[in-house]
Amino acid sequence: DKYLQGLDKSRRSFGDRIRALSNNFHGIDDDLLEELMVILLEGDVGIQTAQKIVDSFEEHSNELKNFDSMEDYFIYILYEFYDDVPEEYIHFNPDGPTVILMVGVNGSGKTTTSAKLLQLYQSLGKKVAVAAADTFRAGAIDQIDTWAQRIGVPCIKGKPGQDPSSVLVDACRYAKENDIDILIGDTAGRLQNKKNLMKELEKMTRVIGREIEGAPQEVWLVLDATTGQNGISQAQVFLDATHVTGIVLTKMDGTAKGGVVLSIHDMLHLPVRFLGLGEKPEDLRPFDVASYIMGMTK
Ligand code: GDP
């Protein structure tokens, strides 16, 4: 299964080590807790989150006897840790186009993820379009336009350097006139200047809301999993700048740092919507906790 394959690297460094620990298990003591902590940290779970998981592992130790192995008990602890918030569904606009705005730093995978989402929603029978509103990165417009042509969906684009908001206005109008179900907005993410970034994001969401009531329904922050904990501090800038509703974690296939999902959940309090598991348009999977935890461990 692609989901599990995509997590191969993480599983090898995380799951295999937990299993080895479990095979030599002879009781919960300080050495074991320390070893667990190291495995979690090296999987990029982050110090605060790792500590919470280890504490919970220790606190619930009277339940250990109900499991076949320490490994299975640990997996149960991970589930418990993750499952404490109800799943939040994606908001789709019942009376017109749903706008999903993609935000994140350059290179995180926004354009690739936009292409993947176009392909996914089109395959689900939705009428989709994309706004090439990353007018700053050289080649971004051509990149998404090429994907759109290949997938066979309309791409609304401006000129390099054009105000991204004006591209989004054009795209919203196109979406309304052509009964588009889902409009994906691919934006630029220059972190160098936080004030400009905030202003630009604020303007983009404002003009979209003026064209389509309640839009953008979703603002997804694209994070590169290979950047691990650094990605989380980057994320904070975007959370301060705009109303982010979910996370897409890309390049999960290229990293052993898959544990970062656990700290995103714990630190950012935002649902992970999708995982990027490769460079091709089909390499995108809706996130679900069970597949994720299994992918990381078994
Ligand atoms: P943007 O600047 O945020 O639009 O980033 P791009 O979409 O151009 O992606 C940057 C690079 O990351 C490209 O080479 C993509 O092919 C690659 N990439 C994006 N998502 C994934 C993924 O899930 N897995 C892998 N292995 N590469 C990815």
Residue-wise pLDDT tens digits, 91-124: 899 999 999 999 999 899 999 999 999 999 999 9
Over 90: is that where the pLDDT of 191 sits? no
Interface ipTM above 0.85: yes
Q: Which atom of ligand 1 is nearest to the CA of 115?
A: 7
Tell whether the model's pLDDT for residue 1 goes beyond 80. no
Mean pLDDT across 215-237? 92
* Torsions phi, psi for 94 (to 5 deg): -75, -20
56, with CB counted inside 10 A (0-12, 13-18, 19+), is: middle
279 Cβ inside 6 Å of ligand 1: yes
Task: Give CA 289 to chain center in angstroms.
Answer: 13
Checking if the pLDDT of 74 tops 90, the result is: yes
pLDDT confidence of residue 87: 64
Whole-model pTM: value is: 0.93
Please state, in angstroms and rounded to a whole number, the distance separating the CA atoms of residues 270 and 3. Answer: 21
Q: Whose CA is nearest to atom 9 of ligand 1?
A: 109
> Is residue 130 part of an annotated ligand binding site?
no
Atom of ligand 1 nearest to the CA of 140: 4
> Would you say 196 is a known binding-site residue?
no
Q: Give me ligand 1 centre to Cα 279, in Å.
A: 6
Q: Is the CB of 277 under 6 A from ligand 1?
A: yes
Sorting pLDDT into bands at 50, 70 and 90, what band is 234?
Answer: confident
